[in-house]
Amino acid sequence: MAEEKALLSVLRGEARKIPPLWLMRQAGRYLPEYREVRATAESFLDFCYSPKKAAEVTLQPIRRFHFDAAILFSDILVVPDAMGQLVSFETGAGPRLEPIETPAQAARLGEFKIEHLSPVFETIDLVKAALPSDVAFIGFCGAPFTVASYMIAGQGTPDQGPARLFAYRYPEAFAKLIDQLVEASIDYLARQIDAGVEVVQIFDSWAGVLPAHEFQRWSAEPVRRIIEGVKARHQRTPVIAFVRGADAHLPKLTQTVGADGYGIDTALDPAWAVAQTARNVPLQGNLDPLALVAGADALDREIDSILAAFKGRPHIFNLGHGILQQTPIENVERLVARVRRGA
């Protein structure tokens, strides 16, 4: 019987001497081979909807570094795109959406059309066929609050102010939008699993700006509902919740939302996270992406500190946020070698 993949075993509660390793945004602009493929697509959204190209860049970091997991190359904003909201990406400026400024505009959103995302499921087919047998395959979606923050503002914002203000002014309309995104996310993740991913991660990149009550209402509870919905269809598929900025909310999250693993961001002290969560709860993280850019002794110290903090418990080595474009490839090679040497 084949040995279970390292990432899957950790998400089932196994503490491994050498933790599985993957990096958020590992398929990206820091790789020259990624930039070559990206240059052949007219727009970023076209890139995401081009199965052969998306599959190729999903596999590139696996070929180069043999990480323990590949993560589907796509974007969290394909969900509002499949709901009929106009979505585009401007080079150097990030995503642009038709803003939702009133409840009436929110009410005009269409139903989530899962068939619109058929190129994503085709990408999964292609990756699955080419992935090494010991590498796990991760699918993902954005959490409702994070996705809604882009949908309402029409772009990324420093403090997600437009979405937060919308929620205060129009709580019923905001709740309805969150509900729509919860249901769409359940369908989307379930279809990714049907297509062949083995793990799914929910990214709530901007929930950390929310006050405590709003955090529970607009971040933790919607994430819990998504996990519950996915588990109803795929009980054994592990789910990772990455709620960036969760900070003091982490202990309650691990007790209430039902994920199989929890990502922690760069700002959180690993020793505190370990002390505040049950020993059998898998945690993922949390190297500073800038330490990976810096490299040399600074990188080694941070790696060793994280390995020591999580020693003896289920841990997935990762960054505390996405890899940065300016990251030297040799520093990623150094990271992989040092993690696999063990603490």
Residues annotated as catalytic are 25, 29, 38, 75, 150
* C-alpha–C-alpha distance, residues 31 and 17, integer Å: 29
Residue 301 corresponds to which amino acid?
R
DSSP reduced 3-state for 164: helix
* C-alpha–C-alpha distance, residues 132 and 24, integer Å: 19
Residue 330 corresponds to which amino acid?
E
Instruction: Name, in order, each residue with C-beta under 8 angstroms of 311's C-beta and a sequence gap of 6 or more.
Output: 343
DSSP, residue by residue, 224-248: HHHHHHHHHH-TTS-EEEEETT-GG
What dihedral do alpha carbons 89, 91, 92, 98 form, nearest 10°? -30
| Helix H or strand E segment including 340 | helix 329-341
- C-alpha 318 chain-centroid distance: 11
Among 338, 244, 267, 334, CA closest to 294: 334
Q: Which two tokens stand for residue 190?
A: 């379930």
* C-alpha–C-alpha distance, residues 247 and 107, integer Å: 34
Contact, 7 vs 49, CB < 8 A? no
Q: Which two tokens stand for residue 146?
A: 């994070």
Instruction: Name, in order, each residue with C-beta under 8 angstroms of 83's C-beta and a sequence gap of 6 or more.
Output: 109, 110, 111, 112, 113, 180, 184
Residue 288 corresponds to which amino acid?
D
Contact, 118 vs 128, CB < 8 A? no
